[in-house]
Amino acid sequence: MLTQVDRGGGVSVAAPVSHFYRCAASTAASRQHFSDREESAAAPPVTSQTSWIDSAFLSLRFSEIDTRKINNSFLRDHNYATEADIISTVEFNSTGELLATGDKGGRVVVFQREQESKNQPHRRGEYNVYSTFQSHEPEFDYLKSLEIEEKINKIRWLPQQNAAYFLLSTNDKTVKLWKISERDKRPEGYNLKDEEGRIRDPTTITSLRVPVLRPMDLMVEATPRRIFSNAHTYHINSISVNSDHETYMSTDDLRINLWNLEITNRSFNIVDIKPANMEELTEVITAAEFHPNQCNTFVYSSSKGSIRLCDMRTSALCDNHSKLFEEPEDPSNRSFFSEIISSISDVKFSHSGRYLMTRDYLTVKVWDINMESKPLETYQVHDYLRSKLCSLYENDCIFDKFECVWNGTDSVLMTGSYNNFFRMFDRNTKRDVTLEASRENSKPRAILKPRKVCVGGKRRKDEISVDSLDFSKKILHTAWHPNENIIAVAATNNLYIFQDKVN
Amino acid sequence: MDITAEAKQVMVHALSKMYSSRTQRGGLRLHRSLLLTLVMRSARDIYHSARLTSEEKGQSDTYGVTENTSQAEEPMDTTSSTTAPLRSAATQATEDGQRSGREGHSQIHDPAGLTVDKENCNPTKLDRPSRKRRSKTDTDPDFLPCKKAKLEFVEVRGILQATQNNSAICGRALDSLPLVPMPRTIVTF
């Protein structure tokens, strides 16, 4: 699919889907809004505008106080949400220049950060639509009478090696490698066909000319370069590119396959936890990831709350783990739903490779890969839900799979919650904050106000009670720029991009 | 009896979720089915242990019925053709395992409507799925041998193995997907 990108700032897109996204225009006004919450009580007094997050919270020092904040949001212009527009994955590339989102309708939308320009310093670093394409289509497996959903489960970028960008996108069964490249020249002056491509009548050709390349309006095209299919019986839940830049792995409920990026007709099975008798099945794989630096090491998480670290050098089939990270269950917390809430929904290596972060239904845990017996740190995301598990089970929310992300320096963790809330935890200061991704506070340059859920007793003004939380508004997917404090938050069918203030 | 009522509710919900997941787009989700199975098991265990303690305390059994030795369902395979139909005593309605994905109607039964006298009190359930299409008036107990069902089982298994041979070329040979055997019996109330 071709996307016409007008570098002047507006975007006109050939594909029909682009009109769903609108970049919030930047205005001069910005709003300061602070509430006296406990978590900000200890913050240094703020005299004027400050960053979108409690500045001390992030332990970042901003030497200048600048009034221009930029909030980019890509919000649907209509209020109804079509299911196909629900964002199902968000991922920055390795430089943070590009941001890819996948949705339930099988589409991928790639945003590109604007280059900073001296003429318009206030437009620093806004993200605009760069390319949109249909990655996966719904398929029907006739043999099993199964429809294969086109929903994009994961997108992972490949490290950039030339002018083109490459990403892997996957649905339940098939992984595709897409090449996104720019074209700004086109050949003109063919002999046998005219400018529209129609074949010319040979009898009208009286002379020969050499076609030349002439500049044209920039076009961004996405082409599928590899299709890796037919390797998974169960539903693919993750893909991870290896640090060797040659291989990647795809993970379904029971197996992990290793692929070479060049070869599509063969993959190697490196983990298989399928029992000989399916009746004995007790756990499934929920996520897997390669170590960021060691190309022989990867981890996978299970529905039982354990993480296994494997070394591919030990054997061809890594069913035997090198390390098993498991915390003994707290018997006092036992309930009907203990197994469901201990299932790990996401596992991420820190950028350093030294730590692991896991997300289960109520907590985020940080593990040191040198210590298997228990996590280093445990953070409660929304412990007030612990007493509501029965109703969350009835409305299916207990099965929601939240993701978690590290910031670039591995000092802050971020994960989503309900009511369009998302949470951040600072590992150093042990402070945490709850923020909301909503239209009201996504006016350009609006500062995000910390939110608080009150668990009982007297509800203060501006607090929200647990029973008023909207469980249909869940933030499952978030991403953090690899180097800067820019975050992308997917709230159902809207994408919010928040940045800290301009320095 | 609060905890037993709660356990019953949990099991009821798990059953209805399992039924509705059969007609879901994308096929059965193994992870979700596994979690539902675990919830059912843990609710059943809690229910039984609670009832045991209540019986020991000499309270009368309000249900007055011999409980079936219930065993939990097996986790569902993602292939709908191997979906073992959930068998609950009152489900005389269709439990067509291999056509579940295509059928427009999904029988969401209210297990709370289970009545005792229709209960299958057969603890020695034959370990095979019943492929027989059941109508509401069909009260044939399934422990009776049904030749037709067996044949379909074999056919379907053959188709599955053919599927396996055609699918992914992995570094390891794919073992054939075993059909999920019939769950023995659903917890009854």
**In the predicted model, is pLDDT for residue A381 greater than 80?**
yes
Predicted confidence at residue A204, as pLDDT, reads 86
**In the predicted model, is pLDDT for residue A317 greater than 50?**
yes
Of residues A175 and B138, more confidently modeled: A175
CA dist A358 and A360 (Å) reads 7
pLDDT band at A86 (very low <50, low <70, confident <90, very high): very high
Tell me which range, A352-361, A431-440, A485-494, is most confidently predicted by mean pLDDT.
A352-361
Residues of B in contact with A278 (CB under 8 A): 74-75, 77, 178, 180
Chain A from 88 to 127: CB within 8 A of any B CB: none
Which candidate in B12, B83, B170 is best for mutational testing of the A interface (most A CBs within 10 A)?
B170
**Average pLDDT rounded to a whole number, residues A463-468:** 90
In angstroms, the first-to-last Cα distance of chain B is: 13
pTM comes to 0.71
Predicted confidence at residue A377, as pLDDT, reads 96
* DSSP secondary structure of B17-59: HHHHHHTSTT---HHHHHHHHHHHHHHHHHHHHHHHHHHHTT-
**In the predicted model, is pLDDT for residue B166 greater than 70?**
no
**In the predicted model, is pLDDT for residue A63 greater than 50?**
no
Averaged pLDDT score across all residues of chain B: 57
pLDDT band at B28 (very low <50, low <70, confident <90, very high): confident
Structure tokens that stand for A213 in this block: 């390349």
Predicted confidence at residue A479, as pLDDT, reads 97
Residues of A in contact with B81 (CB under 8 A): 144-145
Predicted confidence at residue A460, as pLDDT, reads 80
Predicted confidence at residue A74, as pLDDT, reads 57
Chain B from 127 to 146: CB within 8 A of any A CB: none
Predicted confidence at residue A442, as pLDDT, reads 58
Predicted confidence at residue A120, as pLDDT, reads 62
- Find the closest chain A residue to B12 by CA distance: A394
pLDDT band at B55 (very low <50, low <70, confident <90, very high): confident
Q: Which residues contact A170 (CB under 8 A, 6 or more apart)?
A: A152, A153, A154, A155, A176, A236, A239, A250
Chain A from 9 to 48: CB within 8 A of any B CB: none
Predicted confidence at residue B47, as pLDDT, reads 87
Q: Is the CB of A146 less than 8 angstroms away from the CB of B38?
A: no
**In the predicted model, is pLDDT for residue B139 greater than 70?**
no
**In the predicted model, is pLDDT for residue B122 greater than 60?**
no
**In the predicted model, is pLDDT for residue B95 greater than 70?**
no
Residues of A in contact with B161 (CB under 8 A): none
Closest CA to A431 of A32, A50, A54, A33: A54
Q: Which residues contact A499 (CB under 8 A, 6 or more apart)?
A: A52, A69, A70, A71, A72, A125, A484, A485, A486, A487
A378: Cα within 13 Å, side-chain hemisphere: 10
Closest to A281 (Cβ–Cβ): which among B34, B174, B181?
Answer: B34
**Average pLDDT rounded to a whole number, residues A485-493:** 92
Q: Is the CB of B79 less than 8 angstroms away from the CB of A146?
A: yes
**Average pLDDT rounded to a whole number, residues A37-56:** 33
**In the predicted model, is pLDDT for residue A340 greater than 50?**
yes
User: Helix B30-56 and helix B2-22: axis angle, to 10°?
Assistant: 160
Predicted confidence at residue A311, as pLDDT, reads 96
Give the distance from residue B66's alpha carbon to the nearest chain A alpha carbon, in angstroms: 25
**Average pLDDT rounded to a whole number, residues B35-63:** 81
Q: Is the CB of A278 less than 8 angstroms away from the CB of B75?
A: yes
Proportion of chain B above pLDDT 70, given as a percent: 30
| Tens of pLDDT, residues A139-168 | 998 888 889 999 999 999 999 999 999 999
Which candidate in A233, A254, A258 is best for mutational testing of the B interface (most B CBs within 10 A)?
A233
CA dist A245 and B187 (Å) reads 51
Averaged pLDDT score across all residues of chain A: 82
Q: Which of A60-74, A436-450, A457-471 has the lowest mean pLDDT?
A: A60-74
Q: Which residues contact B169 (CB under 8 A, 6 or more apart)?
A: A230, A231, A265, A266, A267
**In the predicted model, is pLDDT for residue B188 greater than 60?**
no
Predicted confidence at residue A125, as pLDDT, reads 73
**Average pLDDT rounded to a whole number, residues A68-86:** 56
**In the predicted model, is pLDDT for residue A205 greater than 50?**
yes
**In the predicted model, is pLDDT for residue A231 greater than 60?**
yes
Structure tokens that stand for A346 in this block: 């996401």
| Tens of pLDDT, residues A318-335 | 888 999 999 998 888 788
Predicted confidence at residue B67, as pLDDT, reads 43
**Average pLDDT rounded to a whole number, residues A439-456:** 76
Q: Is the CB of B168 less than 8 angstroms away from the CB of A230?
A: yes
Is residue A350 less than 8 Å (CB to CB) from chain B? no
The neighbouring-strand residues paired with A446 are A31
Of residues B60 and B170, more confidently modeled: B60
Q: Is the CB of B6 less than 8 angstroms away from the CB of A336?
A: yes
**In the predicted model, is pLDDT for residue A353 greater than 90?**
yes
* DSSP secondary structure of A405-418: EE-TTSSEEEEE-B
Of residues B91 and B48, more confidently modeled: B48
Predicted confidence at residue A143, as pLDDT, reads 87
Predicted confidence at residue A108, as pLDDT, reads 96
Predicted confidence at residue A330, as pLDDT, reads 85
**In the predicted model, is pLDDT for residue B88 greater than 90?**
no
Predicted confidence at residue B130, as pLDDT, reads 52
- Find the closest chain B residue to A174 by CA distance: B168
ipTM above threshold 0.95: no
Q: Is the CB of A286 less than 8 angstroms away from the CB of B177?
A: no
Closest CA to A438 of A451, A453, A454, A424: A451
**In the predicted model, is pLDDT for residue A13 greater than 60?**
no
Q: Which amino acid is at A159?
A: P
**In the predicted model, is pLDDT for residue A124 greater than 90?**
no
Is residue B29 less than 8 Å (CB to CB) from chain A? yes
Closest to A143 (Cβ–Cβ): which among B30, B39, B163?
Answer: B163
Predicted confidence at residue A42, as pLDDT, reads 34
Structure tokens that stand for A173 in this block: 């069964």
Structure tokens that stand for B51 in this block: 């009832």
- Do residues A57 and A64 lie in contact, with contact meaning Cβ atoms separated by under 8 Å? no
pLDDT band at B46 (very low <50, low <70, confident <90, very high): confident
- Find the closest chain B residue to A280 by CA distance: B74
Predicted confidence at residue A236, as pLDDT, reads 97
